[in-house]
Amino acid sequence: MTVLQAETEQITASTYLPINKNWRIFGAINYSILDNTSIEEMVGVEYDNCCWSFRLLNLRYYDNSSTGFFPDFSDPDLEKENSTQFQVIFKGMGSFGSRISNILEDMVRGYKEREY
């Protein structure tokens, strides 16, 4: 079986910026030059202190998990999925909520999770 991959030309931009000692903002965008559209966007905020951290993230993307192929942007019914996720980390004890650190490592160039 042969699977053909569509040609892609994309630009990716990302940032993880400290606002002050406790607050950070982050975001990323993947933009298709060929299709003249944003493929996925992510924006979020993080609060971090000595004992706990909180992250809130909003992600917009095209879900191709059912097909495994790159989305067909000429499809008029194609819509982006929206996902809002949060994570609370109790330092030294664990965390609950989505693993936002995995998304950050995938989408923000150079991001590495801090050890708590």
* Tens digit of each residue's pLDDT (9 = 90 or more) over 30-59: 998 988 889 899 999 999 999 999 999 999
Delimit the domains of the chain by residue range: 10-107
94 vs 15 pLDDT, higher one: 15
100 vs 23 pLDDT, higher one: 23
* Tens digit of each residue's pLDDT (9 = 90 or more) over 63-76: 766 665 666 777 77
* Average pLDDT estimate for 8-36: 93
Characterize 31-46 residue by residue with b for buried, 16 or more Cβ atoms within 10 angstroms of its Cβ, and e for exposed: bbeebeeebbbbebeb
The rounded mean pLDDT for the chain is: 85
CB 37 within 8 A of CB 14: no
Helices (H), the chain: 100-107
Burial of 14 (0-12, 13-18, 19+ CB in 10 A): middle
Tell whether the model's pLDDT for residue 10 goes beyond 90: no
8 backbone dihedrals φ, ψ, rounded to 5°: -135, 145
64 vs 106 pLDDT, higher one: 106
For residue 69, give the DSSP letter.
Answer: S
Q: Is 43 left (phi over 0), alpha (psi -120 to 50) or beta?
A: beta
